[in-house]
């Protein structure tokens, strides 16, 4: 199913990129706690901002992947040729195994090895790269493949200090909420009268409910937007999108702006709900984004497919 809302209306240095991070293990532990999933906002009560249990939230999705033991990253690393493992330490150590078991073949392709070479050269040239290496693949840990219910595509990470942390559109707590995200909150207020705009822009709470917040490029040089475009990340994230399209059913794809719509053009609209609108940027949001109703439509679609709705108000501000 495809719905196009645009039609009706005209800290860490890069040396850590080559070794696993302790933060990845902490993220994974945090994303599989013992708390219950929250009630969705919109119909009755607002969420209370509690932590999300990915395993509990996904247990009702009838996903085979969620019920089968996941291979460990150590086991998956053994499938990589030994002469290439040293260059792929970050990927083998910090990509969640639910994703890694399907994406490991991408890591040894010429384009990805060339991308890693480019990043090494950036490091050697003392360039500042965002997000920090430990956060580069945090989208995979906060939102395992078997829990994906919604996909929101961005373009590249924020390029200012302390902003980017691996989730598209999201910034760390205590960092000023970016304009595009403020417009997303404004759209949520229209979709759900009970929604109250958060005081921060940290979207981990969405990711832990199954919202994949994925940028097309996963790194950027400080203060230089799109500086890592065309270096190989787009091919890798295309593979991520194809994987979700193939392995999951009934996912909501929110494609905002021409760039995201082109990137998501291969998604099977008979198998998933594809929603299109202008980008929430202040430059375009007034041309239909606020009235697109994407967040409400997403929850209606999930509910109609027997899946838990997203509680869009559940956004704890703690890392």
Q: What are the catalytic residues?
A: 156
For 275, the 3-state DSSP assignment is strand
Q: Where are the alpha helices (DSSP H) in 68-109?
A: 73-77, 82-85, 89-94, 97-107
Is omega for the bond preceding 131 within 30 degrees of 0, making it cis? yes
For 70, the 3-state DSSP assignment is coil
Question: How far apart are the C-alpha atoms of 314 and 52, rounded to whole Å?
Answer: 9
Q: What is the DSSP letter of 37?
A: P
Contacts of 122 (CB under 8 A, 6+ apart): 14, 129, 221
| 261-298 b/e (C-beta count within 10 Å ≥ 16 → b) | bebbeebeeeebbbbbbbbbeeebbeebbbebbbbbbb
Token output for 18: 């080559």
For 129, the 3-state DSSP assignment is strand
Question: How far apart are the C-alpha atoms of 169 and 179, rounded to whole Å?
Answer: 10
For 309, the 3-state DSSP assignment is coil
For 222, the 3-state DSSP assignment is coil
Long-range pairs, 24-28, Cβ under 8 A, ≥24? 24/93, 24/94, 24/134, 24/137, 24/138, 24/141, 27/138, 27/141, 27/142, 28/96, 28/141
Measured in whole angstroms, the distance separating CA 153 from the mean position of its chain's CA atoms is 7
């Amino acid at each position: 199913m495809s719905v196009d809302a645009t039609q009706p209306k005209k800290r860490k240095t890069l040396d850590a990129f080559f070794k696993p991070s302790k933060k990845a293990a902490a993220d994974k532990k945090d994303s599989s706690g013992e708390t219950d999933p929250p009630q969705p906002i919109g119909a009755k009560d607002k969420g209370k901002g509690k932590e999300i249990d990915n395993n509990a939230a996904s247990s009702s999705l009838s996903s085979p992947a969620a019920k089968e033991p996941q291979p460990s990253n150590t086991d998956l690393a053994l499938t990589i040729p030994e002469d290439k493992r040293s260059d792929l330490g970050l990927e083998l150590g910090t990509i969640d195994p639910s994703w890694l078991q399907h994406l490991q073949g991408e890591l040894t392709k010429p384009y990805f090895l060339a991308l890693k070479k480019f990043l090494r050269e950036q490091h050697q040239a003392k360039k500042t790269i965002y997000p920090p290496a430990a956060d580069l693949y945090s989208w995979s840990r906060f939102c395992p493949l078997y829990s994906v219910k919604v996909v929101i595509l961005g373009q590249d990470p924020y390029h200012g200090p302390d902003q980017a942390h691996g989730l598209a559109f999201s910034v760390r707590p205590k960092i000023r909420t970016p304009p595009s995200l403020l417009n997303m909150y404004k759209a949520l207020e229209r979709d759900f009268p009970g929604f109250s705009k958060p005081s921060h822009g940290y979207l981990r709470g969405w990711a832990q409910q199954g919202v994949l917040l994925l940028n097309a490029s996963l790194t950027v040089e400080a203060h230089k937007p799109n500086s890592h475009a065309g270096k190989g990340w787009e091919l890798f994230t295309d593979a991520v999108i194809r994987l979700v399209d193939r392995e999951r059913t009934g996912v909501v794809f929110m494609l905002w702006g021409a760039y995201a719509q082109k990137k998501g053009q291969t998604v099977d609209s008979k198998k998933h709900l594809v929603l299109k609108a202008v980008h929430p940027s202040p430059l375009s949001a007034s041309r239909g984004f606020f009235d697109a109703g994407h967040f409400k439509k997403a929850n209606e679609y999930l509910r109609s497919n027997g899946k838990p709705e997203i509680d869009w108000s559940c956004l704890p501000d703690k890392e």
